[in-house]
Amino acid sequence: MVKVVSHGVCYLYNFREVKPKFPSLIKGSESPANFPPRIIIRIQFIKLCKHFINLNMSPGSKLKDSYPPSPPCNCEICRSFCRRPGWWTVEQASSVMKAGYSHRMMLEIAPEFNFAVLSPAFRGCEGSIATNEFSNAGCNFYKNELCELHGTNLQPLECRVCHHERPGLGPACHGDIEKQWNTPNGQKIVIKWMKEINFWDRYSTDPRAKSSQF
């Protein structure tokens, strides 16, 4: 194993896996046998992390790289995509809250009740739980056939990706964003949002519910 220190964080790698792929990145002896015990090898962080340190990269950044934005389109199919709220990444949702839009978000709860997702609210579900009653009301950010968030960093990643010329990519993006929300970090943002909008004060009289974390 090789100890790699980058930005103060230590990682362990099998030298046989690193050496063949990144010979120019290793500083030191050419042979693993010549490495002193517990040697610290410094490797160019940016190049290496793309291949081996995915967990150290921002999850939102990884998804953004995997799903580049589609070109603008005003066809009926693409407009139909815009009418229904797309999902933010966890990182994006945090930025949306900081921008002061918490009251325009809604909580989508997984069928298994084991995690939840923050998304642009249906009209009528602002600051509340997503319900079928308002599912046909459309996204509250979509007005007069235009999206208020279009062209900004706050536009949901799923909305940027969906396009009539990219069939199947939207569901794939949706699935990957779902995996990101179904993590401790994702649910921390959900709980933060609940506290910010006084969710439990409005929806529960049981004080035990306020400590619920899905």
pLDDT score, position 60: 54
In this structure, what is the dihedral angle of CA atoms 168, 170, 175, 177, given to the nearest 10 degrees?
A: 160
pLDDT score, position 179: 95
Same domain for 205 and 185:
yes
| pTM metric for this prediction | 0.67
Q: How many structural domains is the chain composed of?
A: 2
Considering 11, 41, 57, which residue would you say is the last residue of a domain? 57
Same domain for 194 and 90:
yes
Considering 13, 39, 57, which residue would you say is the last residue of a domain? 57
Domain span at residue 6 reads 2-57
11/47 Cα distance (integer angstroms): 15
pLDDT score, position 161: 92
DSSP 8-state class, residue 32: G
Same domain for 79 and 51:
no
Same domain for 99 and 161:
yes
Q: 151 φ, ψ to 5°?
A: 85, 5
Residues of the chain with pLDDT under 50: 1-58, 206-210, 212-214
